[in-house]
């Protein structure tokens, strides 16, 4: 087989994957912007900062119910699917697919470490470390992949409950969820288990979704309509219940960890619901907006990193001394969306890859890759 490493011709691209990836990257910014512009505790506590008006509370609540963990989960599923897709394409071209995949994710680890040095909310570092697990398990039966992914989320829920139980007896000496004191190690261990557990779980589910053709839009429209109804019907009540629980307890430390459980469990059905809606939307009559969302998804890595750069510069440096509200953070999010939807298509009308994707590709294959669009 040829060992060609050129870009996939535009007519042969899977537009469903591009559309889902584009929406996922846009959605990730909703919660990341909170971390860029508000105090750390505001990420999990609507009462900790940025909520000064009814509109602020509505925006914060909507973010918790519809966005928190969900778009990151969707992005993780896409990454898991991408691991399998890359390995299959590499094998079809006569390459040593496992070694090439490990090298590629080793490069991603470097990118993640650099990104992590600027912002501690990076996910690329986590993805790169989890990638070998997905690569090793990718040939397991589809049902097993689904089961293992679900088991990871279940394990996260159990760990969260156990950690909360161990903290309740010490709650009187803790100031808030983000001031751990001598119990920092316990919370930090939970945070890492939660972060890595959800990432691996979603990636394994993504690999299964790829194998079944669900994530690539290969199923009939009726299938996606049913999956959307089920995912939203199960996920939204769970996510809403999690927020209601936290609000009813005034975001107390006694529920700071356990209160995340409903939202974590809701992530998988909501991701499947969102995925289905995006596939259905993408399959409708083509439009300028669809083309822009797909273009944004094709250069997802560039856009993800540029969101951090814009957040740190605009919200962190330029407006760092301003007491921002959630409404103004939302304005920033919409503004970045507009910019990225514009520049992604403008760039890809001229070039085959996003700038960071191109550098990553050159390093992966160890050779200069054509950048100009054919």
pLDDT value of residue 204: 98
Structure tokens that stand for 159 in this block: 């760990």
261 and 157 in contact (C-beta within 8 Å)?
yes
Any residues with CB less than 8 A from the CB of 349 and at least 6 apart, and which?
A: 373
Structure tokens that stand for 369 in this block: 């890759």
Q: Where are the domains of the chain?
A: 10-365
pLDDT value of residue 183: 58
The separation between CA 215 and the C-alpha centre of its own chain, rounded to angstroms, equals 15
pLDDT value of residue 170: 55
pLDDT value of residue 117: 95
Any residues with CB less than 8 A from the CB of 111 and at least 6 apart, and which?
A: 124, 301, 305, 356, 360
pTM of the model: 0.92
If the chain, 374 residues long, is cut into consecutive pieces of 10 residues, what is the mean pLDDT of each piece? 51 86 98 93 87 94 96 97 94 91 97 95 95 96 97 94 75 47 64 90 97 96 98 97 90 82 95 98 95 97 98 94 94 98 97 96 93 82
pLDDT value of residue 12: 63
pLDDT value of residue 188: 72
pLDDT value of residue 190: 79
Structure tokens that stand for 74 in this block: 């969707």
Q: What is the 3-state secondary structure (H, E, C) of the chain?
A: CCCCCCCCCHHHCCHHHHHHHHHHHHHHHHHHHHHHHCCHHHHCCCCCCCCCCHHHHHHHHHHHHHHCCHHHHHHHHHHHHHHHHHHHHHHHCCCCHHHHHHHHHHHHHHHHHHHHHHCCCCCHHHHHHHHHHHHHHCCCCHHHHHHHHHHHHHHHHHHHHHHHHHHHCCHHHCCECCECHHHHHHHHHHHHHHHHHHHHHHHHHHHHHHHCCCCCCCCCHHHHHHHHHHHHHHHHHHHHHHHHHHHHCCCCHHHCCHHHHHHHHHHHHHHHHHHHHHHHHHHCCCCHHHHHHHHHHHCHHHHHHHHHHHHHHHHHHHCCCCCCCHHHHHHHHHHHHHHHHHHHHHHHCCECCCHHHHHHHHHHHCCCCCCECC
80 and 24 in contact (C-beta within 8 Å)?
no
């Amino acid at each position: 087989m040829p060992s060609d490493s050129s870009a996939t011709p535009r007519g042969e691209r899977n537009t469903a994957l591009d559309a889902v990836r584009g929406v996922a990257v846009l959605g990730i910014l909703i919660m990341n912007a909170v971390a860029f512009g508000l105090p750390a505790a505001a990420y999990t506590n609507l009462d900790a900062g940025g909520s000064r008006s009814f509109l602020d509370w509505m925006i914060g609540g909507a973010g918790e119910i519809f966005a928190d963990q969900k778009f990151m989960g969707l992005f993780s599923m896409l990454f898991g699917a991408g691991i399998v897709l890359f390995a299959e394409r590499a094998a079809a071209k006569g390459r040593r697919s496992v070694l090439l995949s490990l090298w590629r994710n080793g490069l991603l680890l470097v990118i993640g470490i650099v990104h992590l040095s600027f912002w501690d909310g990076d996910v690329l570092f986590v993805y790169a470390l989890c990638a070998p697990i997905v690569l090793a398990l990718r040939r397991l039966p589809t049902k097993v992949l689904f089961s293992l992914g679900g088991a990871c989320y279940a394990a996260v829920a159990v760990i969260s409950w156990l950690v909360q139980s161990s903290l309740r007896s010490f709650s009187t000496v803790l100031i808030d969820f983000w001031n751990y004191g001598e119990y920092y190690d316990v919370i930090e261990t939970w945070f890492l288990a939660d972060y890595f557990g959800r990432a691996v779980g979603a990636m394994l589910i993504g690999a299964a979704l790829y194998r079944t053709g669900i994530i690539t839009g290969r199923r009939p429209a009726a299938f996606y309509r049913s999956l959307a109804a089920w995912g939203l019907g199960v996920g939204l009540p769970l996510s809403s219940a999690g927020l209601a629980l936290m609000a009813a307890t005034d975001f107390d430390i006694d529920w700071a960890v356990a209160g995340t459980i409903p939202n974590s469990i809701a992530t998988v059905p909501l991701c499947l619901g969102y995925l289905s809606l995006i596939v259905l939307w993408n399959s409708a009559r083509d439009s300028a907006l669809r083309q822009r969302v797909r273009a944004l998804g094709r250069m997802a890595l560039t856009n993800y990193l540029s969101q951090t750069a814009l957040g740190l510069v605009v919200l962190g440096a330029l407006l760092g001394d301003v007491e921002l509200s959630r409404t103004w953070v939302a304005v920033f999010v919409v503004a970045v969306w507009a910019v990225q939807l514009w520049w992604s298509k403008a760039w890809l009308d001229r070039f085959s890859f996003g700038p960071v994707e191109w550098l990553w590709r050159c390093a992966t294959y160890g050779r200069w890759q054509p950048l100009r669009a054919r």
